[in-house]
Amino acid sequence: MSKRFDGRVAIVTGASRGIGLGIASRLVSEGAKVVLTARKPEPLEEAVAELGGPEHAEGIAGKADDVEHQAEVVRHVLDKHGRIDVLVNNAGINPAYGPLIDLEHSVARKTFEVNVLAALSWTQQVHRAWMAEHGGAVLNVSSVAGQRPSPGIGYYGATKAMLSLMTQQLGVELGPKVRVNAVAPAVVKTRFATALYADDEEGVTANYPLKRLGEPADIGSAAAYLLSDEASWITGQVLTLDGGLTLTGGV
């Protein structure tokens, strides 16, 4: 494994499991020190242990959309490591399933705050504290659900569509020192997505040209490329990671 992130420090939100942990694992394997965030301390402790312990990672519990938590994490990382080279906005929620016309406003508001506003706020925090002067790379975790109508998860998809557009806007605004890109996965085998495939994984994968669902490691490898210097001429892009699903008209 190459060491593209030797000496670099990353913050990964929503990283106690699933895609966030998959990205963190890849960054650690390539030499990064990674600070994980998630709501609950116990899963964070397990994730840190899985990543090799405090020599490689540490966890700070808090809500992704809590501005005070964001500021605390940024201060801690700068106090301890003296730099923030990478930010991964992975935290996301999808508490509602069903048509938009029935969506409760309180649920819609919370989903927007976590999936969109929190990603913007984390980016603002690290930009003001470090990246504006020293540079860095930001990655947002969007979704193919944001690329076309997605029955049952339409509002989740709408927030991811905004996250993708926000990625492009920030790519324009924050260059040349800071690059901002996104990945847009289809269904990845995580606890978060279990309801989308658990009852009929074979049937779900039938529409994928590569005939399998994604794994967190698939997202981790693509994320590491976009965050590395090898992607130094790439910004404002949304990379679809879907096993070919959208080629067949599926979501």
For residue 156, indicate whether it is catalytic: yes
| Strands 57-61, 33-38: pairing kind | parallel
Residues facing residue 179 across a β-bridge = 137
Six token digits for residue 90: 């992975």
Strands (E), the chain: 9-12, 33-38, 57-61, 86-89, 136-141, 178-185, 238-241
CA distances from 41 to 61, 87, 90, 110, 250 (A): 5, 20, 17, 22, 37
Nearest one of 190, 194, 178 to 14, comparing CA atoms:
190
Given 97, 155, 156, 208, which residue is catalytic? 156
Residues catalogued as catalytic? 156
